[in-house]
Amino acid sequence: MTAVTTGARASSRAGAGLVRGLRSGIATPAVVAVALLADYLWVRSLQLDSIERRTLNSDYLVSKTTEHLTLTVVATVLIMVIAVPLGILISRVRARWIPPLVLGLANIGQATPAIGVLVLLTIVYGPGFGIAMTSLVAYSALPVLRNTLIGIQQVDRSLIEAARGMGMKPVQILLRIELPLAVPVVLAGLRTALVFCVGVATLATFVNAGGLGDIIVNGIKLDRDPVLITGSVVTASIALLVDWTGGLAEKVLKPKGV
């Protein structure tokens, strides 16, 4: 009877955990769907003037959303290409002053206001997509760089010594032990960087690089609340979905047992 009761309780706890997991998994998409639907129904109920109709139509919204996602994805790829190898590199050096120096330089990029970087680069080089990319990468690279370094440094040294004892070379230890164990920490940094990119990409409108910032700025300049609110809701929805997707990636790519 006791074994049956214990088994029933374990099954109940497992079922409750599954329900909580499902609820947390669909909570963010559900909130985003409700917000987008509410904004759509509200805009449809309004009598839009010609200026608002030129902005609040499917073609324009899809175009600006695509530009915004392009900015975010390209910046994220560049951050991964730059920050992850750099984090690995500074984790291999023996000079203790080098990692704080590199992290300090990256921290300057994040501490500097993104709009200030955009203005300065535009004055020197002119507006364009490349200027927006430079600002996005400079502002969002720190979480990935820092987490790559921390993720590798936190690997249990006994595992590394055991691998050396088995005759594994440094590159093999890095690829087979250190990086797989650092994946959850690196992904957490990438998740943060993605959210940063979504937000900062709205400033690309000031350097003629497009994105949802065009809609938001149009709403402000033309004093059109439906335009401003729609641009803000879509931008916030993308940020929430990106963060949610990053959370799923962390769970899927996390090594078993970690």
How far is the C-alpha of 109 from the C-alpha of 142, rounded, in Å? 8
- pLDDT confidence of residue 230: 95
SS3 204: helix
CA atoms within 13 A on the CB side of 100: 3
Q: What is the pLDDT of residues 187-202, one digit of tens each?
A: 999 999 999 899 889 9
Question: Does 21 have pLDDT greater than 60?
Answer: no
Element (H, E) at 13: helix 2-44
Question: Does 75 have pLDDT greater than 80?
Answer: yes
Question: Does 1 have pLDDT greater than 80?
Answer: no
In a 10 Å sphere around its CB, with 0-12 CB exposed, 13-18 middle and 19+ buried, how is residue 190 labelled?
buried
How far is the C-alpha of 11 from the C-alpha of 236, rounded, in Å? 39
pTM comes to 0.82
